[in-house]
């Protein structure tokens, strides 16, 4: 189940990186299809990771990854609120959301492949 979460988050990351590149090149807001795909894959990954974490226990790298992904999700919802209100997305929030998600993904990979950080 953890490997499924990795795959789902990897697809979400591809869409997220694409949106971030577009944003920093001045093509913002993102295309709705790309944003929806990013959100659906990230939410599916989060739910899968939650279920796997409940199965193996909340401690350790899987629990840390889940916590980091939850924080990244809050940042994503905050970014969505800017988009819905028609306001420009703050560069710092876009970068922070992405960096937090990358950190969570690295911790998840460490858990899946049993790498000590």
Is 80 exceeded by the pLDDT of residue 115? Answer: no
Q: Which ranges constitute the DSSP H helices of the chain?
A: 2-24, 32-56, 60-84, 91-112
Q: What is the pLDDT of residue 27?
A: 87
Average pLDDT over residues 35-40: 95
Peptide bond into 29 cis (omega under 30): yes
Q: Is residue 117 part of a domain?
A: no
Average pLDDT over residues 96-106: 98
Say how many domains are in the chain: 1
Is 70 exceeded by the pLDDT of residue 31? Answer: yes
Give the position of tokens 């659906």: 40
Q: Is residue 76 part of a domain?
A: yes
Give the position of tokens 């994503």: 76
Is 80 exceeded by the pLDDT of residue 116? Answer: no
Q: Is residue 100 part of a domain?
A: yes
Q: Is residue 12 part of a domain?
A: yes
Instruction: Show Cβ contacts of residue 50 under 8 Å, excluding neighbours closer than 6 positions.
Output: 66
The domain containing residue 39 runs over which residues?
2-112
Average pLDDT over residues 26-37: 88
Residue 113 or 114, more confident? 113
């Amino acid at each position: 189940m953890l490997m499924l979460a990795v795959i789902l988050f990897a697809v979400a990351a591809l869409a997220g990186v694409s949106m971030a590149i577009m944003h920093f090149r001045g093509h913002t807001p993102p295309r709705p299809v790309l944003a929806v795909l990013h959100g659906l894959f990230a939410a599916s990954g989060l739910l899968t990771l939650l279920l796997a974490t409940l199965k193996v226990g909340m401690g350790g790298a899987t629990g840390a990854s889940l916590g980091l992904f939850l924080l990244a999700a809050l940042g994503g919802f905050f970014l969505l609120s800017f988009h819905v209100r028609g306001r420009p997305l703050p560069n710092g929030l876009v970068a922070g959301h992405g960096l937090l998600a990358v950190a969570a993904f690295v911790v998840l990979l460490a858990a899946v492949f049993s790498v000590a950080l």
